[in-house]
Chains A and B, each alone.
Chain A
């Protein structure tokens, strides 16, 4: 029986704790009394995955018929899959999406379906490369469908987008025309965090900028407390996508949702110590940690990046559910919470977070300063239910070198955002009002998004909004080890060590603050009571 997560209180027996800081990590001694939130142990994976997938497809949940009964000759079938942004890091092959796609396609072939399109639901993310897609869907699917019937979604293809209608809140709903005209959409998802899946899959993954702007904005993000808590009324972004998803359903779109959950085995066995609690490290774990750390420190940056890029998570599948979107998602969240939820008693004055090397938007890429902001104050900060781990006006201390470095192919608009927009202002609302439209419609960015492997021109804005709630909530944000220029550009402060950061934090939280270290990854959700 895997152990649940728990909150450690640092005492004199506590060894130094590992803290991620980009493409590296450090061992940090925390002040006595610091609370450390540890994730639950990895749940065991399902025993017979193929049988589990078959069972999910043949015995769906909610108001849905079994998949074979929904498939018929002459139908128009669209299968959408989540893109490279999940899981993190990419899982060992075969990817769970491949396993499910093979089952679905097999059923479609048997039913005599000829018109079958597979689309990677990238929304405004970058197009995946052929190699990335092959790795994700597997050789057989790739060979059968690429490049004509297995494509990246193009949100800027005006002829390929259909306007479905408006929600009761006046939100435009636009999705991929092919999907809208299909007799059935099968969505294959990986639910890595609580905000994934549900109505967000189709209503966001296959949507255009015109549709996305209704929930990817500063107002929504400031009213999503948190966006990792999809209960009605807690997350404005989730409420919005639910409205959109229900509009799609009321317009006759038939969606067969397949959602999967993974356990928390985030790191492969060679880096197994990263999955363990420090005081349980064996001598071998300690030696491995030291060796890997030293080798990492002396490696040239390119080698280091390549090492981290090659990390594949040994995730196991903990659940596959299929059928009607909301019923499926309810089960998915139950499964997810079983793996990720940790009860925490109350907030603290300071939250400490280590920013790892990879986030959803820099797989095979560079975690640039804007993505560091997004991963820290967006994703990690929002991994809570009820209340943030840090009190309002408290201090967030994050570890990351924040190098002034960008991937010119993947993130061209990020460079201009950083150089132009953030040099002018860091206020999300002001940025939204003054700059978003121009970047979103810039023909050069649109061209790069459609033909290269670039994120959409508006994407850095979303990343900035993603951290808006965290930024608004915290009185101060300090990066330990951050590059002075880039941290200053983000509008934050930097320190050389935790001791310095705590000294600096005194201005906001007084001389003896309560501290909580959020010991992630592996991913978890703090249920703060």
Chain B
């Protein structure tokens, strides 16, 4: 076998550049390797910030605008807010983090880092480097519960705002999943505000399993809401529920009007985002229903 063929064989067998996997029958015989973690602090230095902004503003933002019909609302809610805060949103696509970072105003963009699943975004070196550089990403260990957000606490204490997706993973069917409590625990512990964001249409544009948005410049709306703050003596369960309702209210606002959404929220009639209790195919069918373009399409759309 030639050296080239051998290298190819090794690359295929050992999954070079891809997530390493172990044989199934070896799983119970293999200790979990102590994860020394990928260093990400370099990406939050001055040079890292400058490089990231160049990438976000010079490459990612034009790319997003080119591929999607992007609508952004509610940035005025951030005008009087002082950081750091925790941005949180529903999670339906790999576009989500990019969309949030690209649409944040400059002063927020500079000091916002995205929490990314350690087991997915920090598995192979090139993905680690990409996540750290482009998103100022830091690893969140989904298997460690409250201990998985140690790095997030450190960043917030350093004055960095963070983006988290409390669902923990992208929706499999387009409907919002139950929120985990990491973000609420963090906000309660550090007393920071939580800014809700609704991302509407990202699932239809680029659901789980796709790596590039669909054709036809699908409509995606980013809607920022009013920050919510932990109340005196509030539990993390109750705060998580409020966070979930805040996102649902933004969805409602996107579907109807600001005033209607508030009124419904006051009457506790905000439509749930949990989707129908039905077989998986029906949930997916409903969740993937195309987002209607409102009004007449613009000439250049």
Contacts and interface: CB of A to CB of B under 8 A. Distances in A.
Is this pair of chains taken from one and the same complex? yes
Interface in B172-196: none
Contacts of A14: 13, 23
Interface residues on B, range: 10 to 19
B286 to A, nearest CB: 35
Contact of B9 (A27, A279, A281): A27
B23 A279 contact: yes
B143 to A, nearest CB: 19
Contact of A13 (B7, B21, B30, B33): B21
Nearest to B20: A279
B23 A29 contact: no
Contact of A11 (B3, B14, B20, B24): B24
A16 B5 CA distance: 13
Interface stretch (A2-10, A57-65, A136-144, A172-180): A2-10
A325 B231 CA distance: 77
Interface residues of A, number: 22
Interface in B1-53: 3, 6-7, 9-10, 13-15, 20-26, 29-31, 33
A279 B26 contact: yes
A9 B25 contact: yes
A286 B23 contact: no
A271 interface: no
Given A3-B31, A13-B21, A27-B9, A281 B26 contact: no
Contacts of B6: 27, 290
A3 B14 CA distance: 23
Contacts of A4: 29
A454 B163 CA distance: 75
Most buried by A among B3, B21, B25, B26: B26
A8 B9 contact: no
Nearest to A286: B14
Contacts of B23: 8-11, 13-14, 279
A14 B13 CA distance: 7
Contacts of B25: 6-9, 11
Nearest to A10: B23
B14 A8 contact: no
Nearest to B125: A283
A169 interface: no
A11 B14 CA distance: 13
Nearest to B124: A283
B19 to A, nearest CB: 11
A277 interface: yes
A286 B29 contact: no
A361 B23 CA distance: 37
A15 B12 CA distance: 8
A16 B21 CA distance: 13
A16 B10 contact: yes
A48 interface: no
B125 to A, nearest CB: 8
Given A3-B29, A27-B9, A281 B3 contact: no
Nearest to A6: B29
A294 B3 contact: yes
Given A15-B13, A16-B9, A29-B13, A277 B31 contact: no
A10 B6 CA distance: 20
A280 B29 CA distance: 11
A306 to B, nearest CB: 23
A16 B16 CA distance: 13
Contacts of A7: 25
A280 B26 CA distance: 10
A279 B24 CA distance: 11
Most buried by A among B7, B21, B33: B21
Contact of A290 (B10, B21, B26): B10
Contacts of B31: 3
A7 B29 CA distance: 10
Interface of B: 3, 6-7, 9-10, 13-15, 20-26, 29-31, 33
14 contacts: A3-B31, A9-B23, A9-B25, A13-B21, A13-B22, A15-B15, A16-B9, A16-B13, A277-B26, A279-B21, A279-B23, A286-B10, A290-B6, A290-B10
List of 6 A-B pairs having minimum Cβ-Cβ separation, nearest first: A15-B13, A9-B25, A16-B13, A14-B23, A13-B21, A279-B22
